[in-house]
A and B are shown apart, each in its own frame.
Chain A
């Protein structure tokens, strides 16, 4: 059972919800926000294993190349440029599809690995903690996210997704079993929540909404939930104390009243799991 935590909008509290929920559920936490993973700041796991993530890129043997430019013409990402006497490769535009090496009649293109990130595996308070890290400046997140997801084994896992609704979010949330949508009761919150809802619709995921920073006046989200039929399974209050705890890198569930709130949330999640499986 894999639960994706996403939001559309950044800064709504995805990581806060994901790390605290994983702690009370005693389950695996997987940080798939590989461009800015920060869940480990709170969970402080001991790292036991680490693996590099590489992608395949073309290496062109100019001794064999006859500059027919078939590779240039076929590249859908414009990662290759050629003249009658040179080929230039742009590694950051390459999506590792391998088509250039397939269409090269001269056998001048060999695929070689290029390191783009790494994954780390550790544990905190007896529960597994995983994260993927993309090397700064690298544009393509998918391979690092895929390297994390390839290790999922069916044990209950909370997948902390990237913000937004782009390829990274799709890679992280795809083939999970349940989407928890963390939002805030603001016009921005509901606007971006709708984007996340549209993504999860395409991915065919059961969904539930968690409202963070709720001061009781959250009709803007309530109306949206009523209109779409997506249940709201929890509300976390707008709290200066919570902001202070988070800014110190501590877990909210280490405080009794917050532990209770997250236990209630965990109970609601368990019920959803029972319904979906």
Chain B
């Protein structure tokens, strides 16, 4: 299982980011391995949600944890099979969000 969390910084101690398309980084956990991926949507002039979704799919994420999905991202992620969970903002660190996910404390994101 690859778990992707939107993050404001490039470490697991950074605050998770409530926005999806404009989040600075995607932090991907696979068991104990952590991968840091800059979000191409962060500095994109147009279609941040679309290009961010493309990156999440390319990274083979099974789960996405973020605060909110825009309509374009929702349109492509819904049929993709990626399960999306909601993080509350202001968000704790990525690590704390990941632990909350493992403990089954996160709700699915309705979009």
- A residues adjacent to B (C-beta < 8 A): 72, 76-83, 86, 88, 90, 93
Tell me which of B50, B57, B79, B80 contacts A90 (CB under 8 A): B50
Count contacts between A and B, CB distance < 8 Å.
Answer: 34
Interface contact A81-B48, CB-CB below 8 Å: no
Interface contact B44-A78, CB-CB below 8 Å: yes
- B residues adjacent to A (C-beta < 8 A): 41, 44-48, 50-51, 53-54, 57, 72, 75-76, 79-80
Interface contact A78-B75, CB-CB below 8 Å: no
Interface contact B47-A79, CB-CB below 8 Å: yes
Task: Write out the residue numbers on chain B whose beta carbons fall within 8 Å of the beta carbon of A80.
Answer: 50
Interface contact A81-B54, CB-CB below 8 Å: yes
Interface contact B54-A90, CB-CB below 8 Å: no
Tell me which of A78, A83, A86, A88 contacts B51 (CB under 8 A): A78
Tell me which of A82, A83, A86, A93 contacts B47 (CB under 8 A): A93
Task: Write out the residue numbers on chain B whose beta carbons fall within 8 Å of the beta carbon of A81.
Answer: 50, 53-54, 76
| Also in contact, A83 and B57, with CB within 8 A (given A78-B44, A88-B75) | yes
Task: Write out the residue numbers on chain A whose beta carbons fall within 8 Å of the beta carbon of B57.
Answer: 83
Give the shortest distance, in Å, between B75 (CB) and chain A (any CB).
7
Given contacts A80-B50, A83-B80, 19 further A-B contacts (CB under 8 A): A72-B54, A76-B46, A77-B45, A77-B46, A78-B47, A78-B48, A78-B50, A79-B46, A79-B47, A79-B50, A81-B50, A81-B53, A81-B54, A81-B76, A90-B47, A90-B50, A93-B46, A93-B47, A93-B50
Task: Write out the residue numbers on chain B whose beta carbons fall within 8 Å of the beta carbon of A72.
Answer: 54
Can you show 18 pairs from A to B with CB atoms below 8 A apart? A72-B54, A77-B45, A77-B47, A78-B46, A78-B47, A78-B50, A78-B51, A79-B47, A81-B54, A81-B76, A83-B57, A83-B80, A86-B79, A88-B75, A88-B76, A90-B47, A90-B50, A93-B46
Q: How far apart sit A78 and B46, CA to CA, in the bound complex (Å)?
A: 6
Residue of B nearest to A95 (CB): B46
Task: Write out the residue numbers on chain B whose beta carbons fall within 8 Å of the beta carbon of A76.
Answer: 46
Task: Write out the residue numbers on chain A whose beta carbons fall within 8 Å of the beta carbon of B44.
Answer: 78
Q: How far apart sit A57 and B50, CA to CA, in the bound complex (Å)?
A: 17
Q: How far apart sit A80 and B54, CA to CA, in the bound complex (Å)?
A: 9
Residue of B nearest to A84 (CB): B57
Task: Write out the residue numbers on chain B whose beta carbons fall within 8 Å of the beta carbon of A86.
Answer: 79
Give 6 closest A-B pairs by Cβ, nearest first. Answer: A78-B47, A78-B51, A78-B50, A77-B46, A93-B47, A81-B76
Q: How far apart sit A78 and B72, CA to CA, in the bound complex (Å)?
A: 11
Give the shortest distance, in Å, between A166 (CB) and chain B (any CB).
13
Residue of A nearest to B40 (CB): A78
Task: Write out the residue numbers on chain A whose beta carbons fall within 8 Å of the beta carbon of B45.
Answer: 77
Task: Write out the residue numbers on chain A whose beta carbons fall within 8 Å of the beta carbon of B53.
Answer: 81
Q: How far apart sit A193 and B45, CA to CA, in the bound complex (Å)?
A: 26
Task: Write out the residue numbers on chain B whose beta carbons fall within 8 Å of the beta carbon of A90.
Answer: 47, 50, 72
